[in-house]
Amino acid sequence: MKTRWFFLTFILLLLLSLTLPASAMQSASYKVDWLVPITGSGGNAASSFYSADFTLGQSVIGSESGVNTADCLGYWCGSGGEYSIMLPLITR
């Protein structure tokens, strides 16, 4: 009987721990609706310090900069730097 109550309490605490962090991500300046990833649309995320237009679920590429920040938007943003292909030299 004790192990059953312990197990039920553990499951309840686990479910609560998964739902409480979602309520901590609320802000009047920044909001992404739960339906946005399903529809593939984005929107505008802005505050007094930044503004970003974006699309969730798709690779949006662009960069923004301000006085104190420099941001790069997109899945592969910042990977377009200098690179070289190193292949082994095979001689006979």
Mean pLDDT of 11-20: 79
- Among 63, 32, 27, 24, which Cα is nearest to 47's? 27
- pTM, to two decimals: 0.25
Query: Residues 6 or more apart from 53 whose CB is under 8 A from it?
Result: 42, 43, 44
State residue 4's pLDDT score: 87
In the chain, the percentage of residues whose pLDDT exceeds 70 is 32
State residue 9's pLDDT score: 92
* 21/11 Cα distance (integer angstroms): 17
- Higher-confidence residue: 70 or 10? 10
What does the pLDDT look like over 51-84, one tens digit per residue?
666 555 554 556 666 677 666 666 556 555 666 7
- Among 57, 53, 62, which Cα is nearest to 80's? 62
